[in-house]
Amino acid sequence: MAKIRITTEEGDRRLNRLLHYLTDYIYTVKIQDGVAIETYHGPGCVNVTGYTSRDHDEDPELWYRMVYDDDKPAVLKQAREATSGVETPPLEHRIIHRDGGIRWVKNTIILSKDLLGKLISYDGLITDITELKKAEELNAIKQKQLIQADKMVALGTMVGGIAHEVNNPNNFILLNAQFLQKVFNDAYPILKEYYEQSGDFSLAGIPFSKSKDKILQSLQGIIEGVMRVRGITKSLTDYAKKDPGDLNQDVNINAVIEGAILIAGNKIKSSTNYFKVVYDDLAPTIKGNLQQLEQVLINLITNACESLTNTEQKIFISVVVEKESKRIKVIVTDEGAGINEENLKYIFDPFFTTKRNTGGTGLGLYISYNIIKSHGGELIIRSNSGKGTNCELIFNYN
């Protein structure tokens, strides 16, 4: 049988190749009288942490400095328990890799004791679980999106039903108001003739001489109110319709804003006395999805309303067409509480919210950002705590 000889140099190369693919490594801590006196980190540590065994030997505190600041108390607690001979469960925590990146690891500790039960050492297995954590986070996001999608489907069904129920009596009111308007217009010459012959008289406690304009204004007000209700219910049913997700519609930005304002109208009225929109009637259409863009505008308007601390603070929306760069901007500005610099860095992260106690999910801006990105656009948010927020939606057009 032939023997295979492996030189030391070749063996080192094979070992290095194997270490390159390791996601685990073992370390050993020797204990004497309840005190850690020596720690050895196996060669696989370089792939997980970026630091070699020698780095750890030369700097005994390196293992602790690598730990992410927020996780240091838990890591210290696990180390103390292990050093005192207490069985400790595996701990998941973050470390700062030598390249500056953040890695997730799982630290599993096994105690070694002598025949008298005295702790002499413990071995730790460090497993890189960064990819697992990313998968878990992605799964959590998808689950949250599914729950949100289910809610939207249920809401869409409910809105469609409510709109149908509202439209029936609304149409009845419209028909009767139009009928009464015609009746009054036909009866007015007769009433006027009687007034001229017999003098003034009262209609519903109002002198006839003053009643014509009042009655016509009331009837016209009813008709306009009914038409407004019809417009709102149509916007709601259109918004609640199943969205195929296509991005090939010719979308008018002004129409997107008008639809969003109709749906968020009640929120706007209860939040501010100063709401202004400046449209650009010559704004070209963009390719996209009207429902998705409405969703973004509704979210931005709602956020602006909720940031206001009193009804004297203002909200402005404007459409700006930049002909040279062939871009359209929709700018939503509020004079509300603003966002501090620390939180501003995380506003597009999924599940990040400063409104957790009031039902915020942290998905509004995350979803809005991805919708705008899918349209080839940009969503830029500038804010200062106490000085309001400025949101810019930027789209390209042909």
Mean pLDDT of the chain: 84
* pLDDT at residue 356, rounded to an integer: 54
* pLDDT at residue 4, rounded to an integer: 46
* pLDDT at residue 154, rounded to an integer: 60
Domains in the chain: ranges and CATH: 9-128 (3.30.450.20), 131-242 (no CATH), 245-398 (3.30.565.10)
The pLDDT tens digits for 321-345 are: 999 999 999 999 999 999 888 888 7
Mean pLDDT in residue range 12-39 = 74
Locate tokens 């689950």: which residue?
143
- pTM of the model as a whole: 0.49
* pLDDT at residue 389, rounded to an integer: 93
Dist CA 73 CA 346 (whole Å): 24
* pLDDT at residue 2, rounded to an integer: 47
- 105, 91 contact by CB (below 8 A): no
When mean pLDDT is compared across 19-23, 57-61, 253-257, 298-302, the lowest value belongs to 19-23
Q: pLDDT tier at 19 (50, 70, 90 boundaries)?
A: very low
* pLDDT at residue 1, rounded to an integer: 46
The pLDDT tens digits for 70-111 are: 999 999 999 999 999 999 999 999 999 999 888 999 999 999
Mean pLDDT in residue range 197-220 = 85
Mapping DSSP onto H, E and C, the string for the chain reads CCCCCCCHHHHHHHHHHHHHCCCEEEEEEEEECCEEEEEEECCCHHHHHCCCHHHHHHCCCHHHHCECHHHHHHHHHHHHHHHCCCCCCCEEEEEECCCCCEEEEEEEEEEEECCCCCEEEEEEEEEECHHHHHHHHHHHHHHHHHHHHHHHHHHHHHHHHHHHHHHHHHHHHHHHHHHHHHHHHHHHHHHHHHHHHHCCCEECCEEHHHHHHHHHHHHHHHHHHHHHHHHHHHHHHHHHCCCCCCCCEEECHHHHHHHHHHHHHHHHHHHCCEEEEECCCCCCCEEECHHHHHHHHHHHHHHHHHHCCCCCCEEEEEEEEECCCCEEEEEEEECCCCCCHHHHCCCCCCCCCCCHHHCCCCCHHHHHHHHHHHCCCEEEEEECCCCCEEEEEEEECC
The pLDDT tens digits for 139-170 are: 777 776 666 665 666 666 666 667 777 878 88
* pLDDT at residue 333, rounded to an integer: 95
Mean pLDDT in residue range 109-133 = 90
Mean pLDDT in residue range 120-135 = 90
* pLDDT at residue 347, rounded to an integer: 83
* pLDDT at residue 257, rounded to an integer: 94
The pLDDT tens digits for 168-195 are: 888 888 888 889 889 988 998 998 899 8
Mean pLDDT in residue range 21-45 = 85
Q: Classify strands 286-288 and 327-334 as parallel, antiparallel or unpaired.
A: unpaired
Residues 267-291 as b or e (16 or more Cβ within 10 Å = b): bbeebbeebeeeeeeebeebbbbbb
* pLDDT at residue 157, rounded to an integer: 62
